[in-house]
Chain A
Amino acid sequence: MSRLPTWLWAAALAVYAFLYIPLAVVVLFSFNDSMLNAEWVGFTTGWYVKLLHDADMLRAAGNSVLIALVSSSVATLLGAMAGLAMHRYRPRWLPFLVLTPVAMPEILLGVSLLLFFRQVLDLTLGLVSILIAHVSFSIGFIAVIVRARLAGMDESIFEAARDLGATPWATFRRITLPLILPALLAGFLMAFTLSIDDFVITFFVAGVGVNTLPLQIYSMIKVAVTPEVNAVSTLLMALTLTLIILASRIAPDLLRTRA
């Protein structure tokens, strides 16, 4: 392999810098001992302490975690079924149904669910509407991960199980399930991060009563730039970072399915 020219390295490094410097600024100023985000004054962890005493923020964080746990559990179950169905039975219409919610602009799913919940179901917007919305956009991600895992497997092991007299349920429990377990775990973590991070769709279906962490951040940055936003952003970043690294450890091919 020929050596890469220096200018290519320089250009690529500049792009990496473009990706990282804005986020580094957010993290750095979360430790800045000044109300204004203008210049560095001194180190403090005071903004994090303030966060711990912010009742609105804590309630929003609690909602976010609850919604993420429930929606990603349901989405993992339904997504695994969808992935299994796409791999084994291949109904032509299923990929359209499963993948379109992932590919379409989020705002379209958001407004259509808002209309549906209010106009057709006459549902009061809140936890339930957010949960349903999060499940709908997570199913596709999990289905893709599970299908990729199944596609990489040797079909003959399922035939062998059948030949040895295993019922479909026994084959599933003893063979399929253990084999797709890493994909399920990785998919669950992925859905969890998608849910806890989602802003656009939640924004339309949340109504007035229930706040999530991204909605709370949105209403804060609309008003003013405060170091408290930096602190909560940094914590959220640390959480999703941990989850994504965990997910990619469990299923290393995840990086490729995402691309």
Chain B
Amino acid sequence: MGSQVKWAVILPPSLFLVAFFLLPSLIVVLASLRETGEFGGLAPFAGAASLTIEAYRFLGGDLIYAEILLRSFLVAALTTVLCILLAYPLAWLIARSPKQRRDLLVLLVILPFASNFLVRIYAWIMILGPAGLLYTPFAVIAGLVYVHLPFMILPLYTNLEKHDPALLEAAQDLGANAWTRFWRVTFPLSLPGIFSGAALVFIPVLGMFAVPELLGGTGDILIGNLIKEQFLDNRDWPLGSALSIVLTVCVLFLAALAAWAAKRGLHGTEAIS
């Protein structure tokens, strides 16, 4: 009886997600090893012997792909750094505000989130268009920072809120000035918050195609744009799948790195919890 109930609860969502998340993800691996069909898409499957690494060889053979991948990483890194710089004062202010005011201040960060993703991009088209800055790298970075900023503010705030004020008072009593107190106490303790925020900004930016497409010029495309182009415009699905696999590997690597960094950062931060 008990085990029947158990599986009646576990199975429906699991089967759904195996069918419509896990299996499709594995299909991408297979599709990246297939040949392009006569009219785009994939060629009919002709057994395991017909699998080929042609798509990957093509990606490796043209420097443009490595260049776009590198640029995607640089753009994601720049976006992340700008998000940290903008998020820090706000997260700090919220964390140091009286308790009863904090929830309201957090809500004020989340509300702009409630607007549609495209509307947030559109807002920048409206602002940058008349200023003559549309379709520039600047527009892309502004849009990316704007869309992802709350993902940095919230984890950073969650971390800063837990800091014990006694630590700062102790540092002050020992003669540390405000600057030293920040760099030697607050900042190191906030690293786990920065790492989780960085993962939430960096990873989605890598896969982004709408912001560069709507705000950037032709030279501003990222790996996400390449994937979209292969699947919807050129209909070269093996190449699109291979690009998706490259992106997946990057994402898995970054997620593992972030998890490792957060864990490692935590060793030094027992004092705050």
Contacts and interface: CB of A to CB of B under 8 A. Distances in A.
A135 interface: yes
A127 interface: no
B92 to A, nearest CB: 7
A81 B15 CA distance: 12
Given A15-B90, A111-B227, A168-B1, A37 B12 contact: no
A61 to B, nearest CB: 13
Contact of B27 (A120, A236, A258): A120
B112 A23 contact: yes
A97 B126 contact: no
Interface string A1-37: 1101000110110011011101101100100000001
A217 B21 contact: no
B116 A233 contact: yes
A9 B93 contact: yes
Contacts of A112: 21, 24-25, 27-28, 244
B103 to A, nearest CB: 7
A225 B129 contact: yes
Interface stretch (A41-49, A149-157, A197-205): A197-205
B93 A139 contact: no
A217 B119 contact: yes
A133 B110 CA distance: 25
Indicate the size class of the contact surface on chain A: 35 or more
Interface of B: 1-2, 5-6, 9-10, 12-14, 16-18, 20-25, 27-28, 31, 41-42, 86-87, 89-90, 92-94, 96-98, 103, 106-112, 114-127, 129-130, 146, 149-150, 154-155, 157-158, 165, 203-204, 206-210, 214, 224, 227-228, 231-232, 237, 240-241, 244, 247-248, 251, 255
Contacts, number: 238
A4 B20 CA distance: 50
Contacts of A191: none
A197 B118 CA distance: 9
Residue among A79, A97, A105 with most chain B CB within 10 A: A105
A193 interface: yes
A258 B12 contact: no
Contacts of B207: 105-108
A145 interface: no
Q: Is the interface of A mostly helix, strand, loop or mixed?
A: helix
Residue from A114, A119, A248 having most chain B Cβ neighbours under 10 A: A119
Contacts of A132: 20
B89 A81 contact: no
Nearest to A197: B116
Contact of A23 (B12, B115, B224, B247): B115
A38 interface: yes
Given A1-B165, A108-B248, A136 B117 contact: no
Contact of A22 (B96, B109, B120, B130): B120
A204 B86 contact: no
B149 to A, nearest CB: 7
